[in-house]
Amino acid sequence: MIFAACILLLICYLSPLKQAGPFKIPEMRKISADIIFSADTSPLSNGVIVCDEDGKILHLGSASDFDPATIEKYEGTIIPGFVNAHCHLELSFMKGAIPEKTGLISFVKHVIALRDRYSKEEEKAAMAAAENEMIANGIVAVGDISNDERSFFQKSIGRLRYHTFIELFDLGSDMTGDALKKGKELMDIARQIPKSSSSLTPHAPYSCTPQLIRETDRLTLEGSKILSIHLQEQEDENRLFTEKKGAWIQFLHDMGCSDHWIEAGAKSSLQYLLPLLSPSNKKLFVHNTFSSAEDIDIAMEKGGEVYWVFCPSANLYIEDRLPDYPLFVRKGAKGCIGSDSLASNHRLCIWSEIKQIKAHYPEIPLEILLTWASINGAEALGMDTALGSIRPGKKPGLVLLEGLCKFEDSISDTQIKRLI
């Protein structure tokens, strides 16, 4: 460790000579702040991050090892770039189009009605603006849902790292074959997006037959082994599988679909779903507003690697209800944070989502929420070798929480600034 620091100091010392000889020594930045939250180690005071001009971390250590005149010093806390674990870039054009707090079923009907109502140019402009917004807000990677290929052009530009979830639903067994065929065709196209990954995934227990869930799970097991499933966003989703009653039965009928594939008798939607999935597939369960303590225990015990993705602003937009976050914290569940789409959110900003959680549950330590928003998201999306924490060898991006010099301080007025 000391040897490595000495070598680094020597390189730093030699850096002004970089123009003198034939060997180009990379430009380096030494960046410090009141606190450095690496997401791998305890928060550092008087720390310094040394990185190259591309943002690759070379060293994380003490600022006292370096000449203060060579250090960029910021007031506040530096954290790794945010990972947005759940988004639908393709729905960006619906910003402000759907009324708030009308419930999930009304929301889903609006999405279906509006999905093809805009021009291709409007859709493209909205996605480009949404991506710009995410980058400005310190987001470096996205777990993004696609129902078709309309967002692939934007993703191909390669400004953000994406894992694309090709989302399938059938609403009845007569559409299972078509859903799978379309999904496989989309996967073939998604694989061509540079610097990104992709996998098939079922949309939600209420929109996918057990046959489609099993087959999608099997196909994903042969690939990147990551599923992202909307789960327990609304109370009646549990009733659908416990009693075969509630608003989702009516929804299926309204859509002209049969409910013959649904059986009562499960203890919850999650407990119905879990046996249909292989423990070897990583699972991102998204929303979890109506997950019970027993659901969390069973998923953690039998579900393999499970990540609980929370999208608080979208939950407030659609259902005006939040998950019991302290319960997940007490259980030691691995949380992640997502923005969901601009159809159900006013902005794509993970820091705003953290503020939302803190406003309702100030007792949750900021370190936990920052962990959810960085390394947990990177692990969930299989990107943690490069992203999610400030560690030598990674290129995580760096974000400043301006003026936040103590984690106990209120964050309600804290703004963020992207440093790298």
Interface ranges with Zn ion (CB under 5 A): 340
User: Smallest distance from the beta carbon of 111 to Zn ion, in angstroms?
Assistant: 10
**CA quadruple 235, 241, 243, 247: dihedral positive or negative?**
positive
Nearest of 79, 87, 17 to residue 43 by alpha carbon:
79
User: Smallest distance from the beta carbon of 151 to Zn ion, in angstroms?
Assistant: 13
CA–CA gap between residue 5 and residue 365 (Å, rounded): 32
With respect to Zn ion, which residue has the nearer C-beta, 340 or 384? 340
355 within 8 A of 412, measured Cβ to Cβ = yes
With respect to Zn ion, which residue has the nearer C-beta, 236 or 340? 340
CA–CA gap between residue 324 and residue 338 (Å, rounded): 16
Residue with smallest beta-carbon separation from Zn ion:
340
- 7, 147, 168, 196, 201 from 385: Cα distances, Å: 24, 28, 29, 14, 23
161 within 8 A of 383, measured Cβ to Cβ = yes
Nearest of 80, 79, 85 to residue 311 by alpha carbon:
85
Number of residues written out for the chain: 420
CA–CA gap between residue 19 and residue 62 (Å, rounded): 28
User: Smallest distance from the beta carbon of 286 to Zn ion, in angstroms?
Assistant: 6
With respect to Zn ion, which residue has the nearer C-beta, 149 or 409? 149
With respect to Zn ion, which residue has the nearer C-beta, 90 or 340? 340
With respect to Zn ion, which residue has the nearer C-beta, 215 or 340? 340
CA–CA gap between residue 315 and residue 302 (Å, rounded): 27
User: Smallest distance from the beta carbon of 340 to Zn ion, in angstroms?
Assistant: 5
User: Smallest distance from the beta carbon of 93 to Zn ion, in angstroms?
Assistant: 16
The tokens describing 206, both together, are 């209420």
With respect to Zn ion, which residue has the nearer C-beta, 340 or 353? 340
With respect to Zn ion, which residue has the nearer C-beta, 231 or 262? 231
User: Smallest distance from the beta carbon of 170 to Zn ion, in angstroms?
Assistant: 18
With respect to Zn ion, which residue has the nearer C-beta, 145 or 262? 145
With respect to Zn ion, which residue has the nearer C-beta, 240 or 286? 286
User: Smallest distance from the beta carbon of 104 to Zn ion, in angstroms?
Assistant: 11
CA–CA gap between residue 351 and residue 367 (Å, rounded): 13
The letter for the amino acid at 158 is G
User: Smallest distance from the beta carbon of 359 to Zn ion, in angstroms?
Assistant: 22
User: Smallest distance from the beta carbon of 412 to Zn ion, in angstroms?
Assistant: 26
| Range list of H helices, 222-349 | 235-242, 247-254, 269-273, 293-302, 312-318, 325-331
Nearest of 78, 82, 70, 4 to residue 44 by alpha carbon:
78
Which DSSP string do the residues of 102-126 spell out, in sequence order? S-HHHHHHHHHHHTTSS-HHHHHHH
